[in-house]
């Protein structure tokens, strides 16, 4: 039987693992109820992961709703393997409120290749959702077997094979 002190220490270690792993990872894999895992970029701020999406040009957030839960899988930034799986309470931030502005200030610095630069927070306020994913407690055990699945449907297509002469053009040595 585990004592209260051991259980408390284990919870602290779990919380530290969740925070450090999520803070350092560029992507988290999030699964809402009845949906497939989806890779989301995020930022860790004040004890929770924040994501923005569901607007034009932003990442989709299917199955994530205010007051719901989600399963978050965090990968290693250097090796890409699963580090920890945790359950999150999902909360949608009210656009324009103080918590929303603080989260958006953090998210804005992490958003790559934004089409509208400094106008991005205004667009997010009008067209997107900002969600806070707060850890609810202990971590889940990592699965034993592989979790490979077919890719999600996408409008992206595979381009034609590279022309046979392309490698010679790319790696041609320049005459001195």
Please count the helices (runs of H) and the strands (runs of E) in the chain.
4, 7
Give residue 173's pLDDT: 59
Q: Pairing state of beta strands 43-45 and 48-53? A: antiparallel
- Kindly tell me if the per-residue pLDDT of 166 is higher than 90: no
Alpha carbon distance 24, 74 (integer Å): 9
Q: Fold for domain 4-143?
A: Pnp Oxidase; Chain A (2.30.110)
Give residue 142's pLDDT: 78
Alpha carbon distance 17, 160 (integer Å): 43
Burial 108-144 (b: 16+ CB within 10 A, else e): beebeeeeeeeebbebbeeebbbbbbebeeebeeeee
pTM of the model: 0.78
Domain extent listing, the chain? 4-143
Tens-place pLDDT, residues 91-140: 999 999 999 999 999 999 888 887 788 899 999 999 999 999 999 987 88
């Amino acid at each position: 039987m585990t004592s209260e002190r051991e259980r408390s220490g284990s919870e602290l270690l779990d919380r530290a693992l969740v925070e450090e792993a999520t803070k350092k990872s560029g992507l988290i894999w999030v699964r809402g109820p009845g949906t497939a895992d989806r890779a989301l970029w995020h930022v860790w701020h004040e004890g929770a992961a924040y994501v923005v999406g569901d607007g034009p040009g932003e990442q989709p957030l299917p199955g994530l709703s205010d007051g719901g839960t989600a399963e978050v899988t965090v990968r290693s930034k250097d090796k890409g393997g699963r580090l920890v799986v945790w359950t999150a309470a999902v909360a949608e931030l009210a656009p324009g409120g103080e918590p929303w502005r603080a989260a958006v200030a953090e998210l804005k610095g992490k958003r790559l290749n934004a089409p509208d630069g400094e106008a991005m927070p205004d667009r997010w306020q009008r067209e997107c959702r900002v969600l806070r994913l707060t850890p609810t407690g202990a971590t889940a055990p990592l699965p034993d077997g592989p979790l490979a699945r077919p890719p999600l449907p996408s409008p992206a297509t595979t381009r034609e094979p590279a022309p046979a002469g392309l490698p010679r053009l790319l790696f041609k040595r320049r005459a001195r």
